[in-house]
Chain A
Amino acid sequence: MTPVRKFATCARVLRQLSHDPRSIVLLLLAPSLLVGLFSWLLSDQAAVFQRVGPAILALFPFIVMFLVTSITTLRERRSGTLERLMTTPLGKGDLVAGYAIAFGLVALLQAVATVTFAVVVCGLDVSGPVWALGVVAILDGLLGTTLGLLASAFASTEFQAVQFMPVIVFPQVLLGGVIMPREQMPDVLQAISDWLPLSHAIDAVDAVTTGAETWDIARPVLVVSAFILAAVALAVLTLRRRTP
């Protein structure tokens, strides 16, 4: 791994994105739009928005970044550019890290936009520090990015990549505690939900908005970070220089 190649790759991914303004607008504004829709829908039930709102903040960056990353990296695999890169000195870690840093930056901008919108426009009440909410939202976007990187290894068409949504994303949404608090789930489902990264991402956002103790925020943040690192490591392992 070399910094030059890693950042060249990161810059290249961002440059590709810059040629697609429509995607940038969607990436930055879509989560705010959905948070706004929720807040409007629940305008008569402020308490419900206060309960569900934070989770939504964790959910949308995760879903959007998962989709964007899995499709972008799949395109790299299918266009022949990955095969070409595998004949160059570029390390597998350089490539994955380049993607993760590029989309991590996008996740950062998206988090700032979404959190600002949720707090300022929708009036989401945050008891903990707002910046902590931003940090957690970035981590959630990064989690979506790294899982997307990993998922793209198992898809051979864009169509398949989109099919990972119902397989990888929706169960995590259902079991993550948005629809039903995790403590009220049947034991087996609760045990499963403990092993899903999104559950911890939602726990982290909840902890910040309710103003929980430092450790209650730090613990789920650490768990999410561990999942991010594991997904990056697995994504590197699934990259092969030699293919059949």
Chain B
Amino acid sequence: MGERFALTISGLEVRRGKRPVIEGLDLGIHAGKVTGLLGPSGCGKTTLLRSIVGVQRVHAGTVTVLGQPAGSKALRKRVAYDTQAASVYRDLTVEQNIAYFARVLGAPRGDVARVMKAVGLETSARQLAGGLSGGQEKRVSLAVALLGHPELIVLDEPTVGLDPVLRAELWDAFRAAAAAGATLIVSSHVMDEASRCDRLLLMRDGALLADTTPAELERSTGEHDAEAAFLAIVRGAAAGAGTAADPLSGRGTAAKADPAGAAALAHPADRPTTDEPRGPHGRHVA
């Protein structure tokens, strides 16, 4: 494909203790697009995102972000990261939090007001972050990730637990950032966010199941909603290995606690094209 990648990953391996979290993952993220990283809780999404922003200790493979090795000094102003739990100072006000990170990033002065407006917090500027609701606190954290117009914005479950109106507004903000040229990676375990993305990565048990687009996913699986499509892909992969397991839950019967089951599920997913003539995936990442 002639499309430009904002980041490429090859042969990524991450272990936690002896347990592999990600095994031999290859991936390219399209520049200027919003890519959704979907998968059940515990499937390795956060580990993958941490590897991209360069705070994860990796055991093998390369992660190249905007032409540089992930985590290198030159990237620290160009890449923004919002952790899954709101990473803000609870004993500072909304404005003080954002102003501090703006100074650390060397963002222009007016940026503080701009990002507060983008996440709809301009009226809470003087409230302590610790006194906000969970959703508001998460938005403060999100605002920090928008400071200084980063070229790559990595958001770990940014819209969890937010009301639908607000969620739509935040997605408008993501789209605006992408329209301005930024590349976004947005993780979620809520499948209904899939339709809002330009591209989709489906992940399970530390491996990519599919790298596709919402439209392609719907076409190849014949399912309208992403959750059903996800199920179809997992079942399709599992059928190849003759395994039937609770497909959606990372904590289910085929979770890491049961290595045999997990391996049976993971292997066909690693090489889906050979086992799966129907090919439910847009673009494989083998």
Contacts and interface: CB of A to CB of B under 8 A. Distances in A.
Contacts of B57: 242-244
A85 B83 CA distance: 11
Contact of A89 (B56, B76, B85, B92): B76
A20 B92 CA distance: 10
Size category of the binding interface on chain A: 20 to 34
B104 A79 contact: no
A80 B76 CA distance: 17
Nearest to B90: A79
B88 to A, nearest CB: 7
B147 to A, nearest CB: 9
A45 interface: no
Contacts of B104: 5, 8-9, 85, 88-90
Nearest to A89: B76
Contacts of A12: 89, 92, 96, 100
A81 interface: yes
A119 to B, nearest CB: 34
Given A88-B101, A89-B104, A241-B54, A81 B88 contact: yes
Given A89-B104, A243-B55, A243-B56, A16 B77 contact: no
Interface in A1-55: 4-5, 8-9, 11-12, 15-16, 19-20
B55 A241 contact: yes
Contacts of B100: 8-9, 11-12
B216 to A, nearest CB: 32
Contacts of A79: 85, 87-90
B103 interface: yes
Nearest to A84: B87
Nearest to A23: B91
Nearest to B83: A80
Interface in B12-57: 16, 50, 53-57
A-B pairs with lowest CB-CB distance, top 3: A80-B87, A8-B103, A84-B87
6 contacts: A5-B104, A12-B89, A16-B89, A79-B87, A87-B80, A89-B105
Given A79-B85, A81-B89, A244-B57, 16 more contacts: A11-B100, A12-B89, A12-B96, A19-B92, A79-B88, A83-B55, A84-B82, A87-B54, A87-B76, A88-B76, A88-B77, A89-B76, A241-B71, A242-B56, A242-B57, A243-B56
